[in-house]
Amino acid sequence: MSITFYIPGPLCSFADGKSKIEIPASPATVREALQALWALHPGIRDRVVTEQGEIREHINVFVGHKNIRYTGGLATALAAGADISIIPAVSGG
C-alpha cells in the first residue's frame, strides 16, 4: 500500500510541479510519512514545518477529512492507503 499526498499549488514548484505524490510505503504516523515526502522533495519541508519540526501555524495537514491538530499532530496514526492533504490557511478580510 502507499500513502498519497495532495500538494497545494504554491508548493508544487518544490515537488517537481506535482500536485499529487504517492509514497510507496506504509508509514505508521504522519511524521514518518512527511519524512518520506521530504526525502523525495526536500524543498517542501521548510514550508510545512518550523525549525523545531512542528507544523507551521499557517499550514493545515489533513488525513482524509481530519485535521491532525485534533487527532494527535505529527503522531497521528495512518492506515494503509491514507490520503494526506497539505493546505495553507487562507486569511484575509
Given a contact cutoff of 8 angstroms between Cβ atoms, the answer to whether 56 and 50 are in contact is yes
Is the whole-model pTM more than 0.85? yes
Q: Write down the CATH number for the domain with range 11-87.
A: 3.10.20.30
63 phi and psi angles, rounded to 5 deg: -105, 115
Given a contact cutoff of 8 angstroms between Cβ atoms, the answer to whether 75 and 48 are in contact is no
Q: Cell numbers for 9, please give them.
A: 499549488
In this predicted model, what pLDDT tens digit does every residue of 38-86 receive, in sequence order? 999 999 999 999 999 999 999 999 999 999 999 999 999 999 899 999 9
Spatial CA neighbour of 56 closest among 47, 69, 64, 67:
47
Q: CB neighbours of 77 closer than 8 A, spacing ≥ 6?
A: 28, 29
